[in-house]
Amino acid sequence: MSDVRAPQVPPKDVTQLVHVARQPIFDAQGMVVGYELLFRGRLDEVEASQRDISATSQVIVTAFTEFGLPEVVRDKLCFINMTREFLVGELALPIGPEQVVLEVLESITIDDEVLAGVTALHEAGYRIALDDFVWGLGHDKLFSIASFVKLDMLDGDLSRLEETIEVCRRYPQIQLVAERLETEAHVAMAERYGCELRQGYALSRPHVLTTSTLSASKLRRLELLALLHATDTDMKKVSDLISTDPALAMRVLRASNSAAAGLPQRLSSVPQAVVLLGIAKIRQWAALMIASEVTGANDEQLTEALVRARFCHRLAQEFKVPPETAFLLGLLTGVADLMGMPRADMATQMPLAEDVAAALRGDGSPLQRVLQTVEAYENGTIPEVTSVNLGSAYLEMLRWSTRVVTGADD
């Protein structure tokens, strides 16, 4: 019997839409070599309304944990604007350098701290781009480690364009990116000066990607961050806290699926994802999630998702399946229902173990039968389970879930 439900319309206060824009960057032959990711607060926003810490953080969180880098940029480069806080290490980057290009904005003062921070990022393998380069701001100090220099062909200082290009040509590793190409004359100028890469409305406008995401509790993130920065971090407590926040658990699972995480095995539980990602990565993602300020969870709906997950955990032994795996299945189905997402789609969004993925697709396995038993009880049918008093167990799970969602004392 298949248990793959048709998608439901999610409650408005449980989910929210998140957006990220991407604008392609082309080579001289017109082939896409990368995308610049841009903050968008609304679907209809033409220009970015923010270029601050929150905007950069939300771009990273949305691109890597909501969509996943393969969906956003495929195998191309990913250009992301960086603020000073990221460049000097006040906020850590939880994304690896494989496909990422860090753009140093023209508004950033290149002092000794920034110079040291950008150098360290370069040594860690990140490619560096100097955005909207102009003379007199000190960004030329980074020429020796920059991979890209972006030249504004619309509002830039074109009186020193030839000088800029001549100096950049002394550094063989630098590729010139002619940006803000809005007319055919701009494109011709990029061609005349031999700019290797081109970007602008004359070639392609930014395209906004939108998806629905489960709102998360800011309080729980702060609690997690405090726990992660304790002198002796308790991995079990970290794992337990993440497991009791469906939105946070989903983001951790999705983060583990990003190319930057590079995990060697498939996941069958939230604690496994925590261990494989490691405290450092979890700490970085938690910090970014707080900075991105995506909040507003509905406690009642989150409690329902947790009750299901905990109930599956409780019944796992009856069906001889691992309790943590049963918990994960219950959690994923609860989240899928809240987001109006077909359950089978969950199997393609995260690096799940095959038994979990198969259960999501409705394979009739013992693991899926755990879920069927729980849902039968939710729907008013009392299944035959010999070792568990389902009524008492359900009330116990409800009390537990209410406590962890609301933060009430035990």
User: pLDDT value at position 387?
Assistant: 60
User: pLDDT value at position 214?
Assistant: 56
User: pLDDT value at position 337?
Assistant: 80
User: pLDDT value at position 73?
Assistant: 86
Extract the residue ranges of the chain whose pLDDT is less than 50: 1-14, 43-51, 219, 259-260, 291, 293-297, 407, 409-410
Residue 3 CA to residue 1 CA, distance in Å, equals 7
Tokens of 101: 């290009």
pLDDT of 83-110, one tens digit each?
888 898 877 777 889 899 999 988 899 9
> Token pair 């799970």 is at which residue?
397
From the CB of residue 233, how many other CB atoms can be counted at a distance below 10 Å? 13
Handedness of CA 383, 387, 393, 397 (dihedral sign): negative
User: pLDDT value at position 10?
Assistant: 43
What domains can be seen in the chain, in order of their start residue? 15-211 (3.20.20.450), 231-406 (no CATH)
Residue 77 CA to residue 27 CA, distance in Å, equals 12
Instruction: Say whether pTM exceeds 0.75.
Output: no
Q: Which of 336, 348, 286, 292 is nearest to 71 (CA)?
A: 348
Task: List Cβ neighbours of 381 (8 Å cut-off, separation of 6 or more).
Answer: none
* Contact predicate 366/320, CB 8 Å: yes
Tokens of 253: 């699972």
User: pLDDT value at position 133?
Assistant: 93
| DSSP summary character for residue 319 | G
From the CB of residue 293, how many other CB atoms can be counted at a distance below 10 Å? 12
Q: What is the DSSP code string of 76-144? A: SEEEEEE-HHHHTTSS---S-SSSEEEEE-TTS---HHHHHHHHHHHHTT-EEEETT--TTSSGGGGTT
* Contact predicate 329/371, CB 8 Å: yes
User: pLDDT value at position 282?
Assistant: 76
User: pLDDT value at position 12?
Assistant: 44
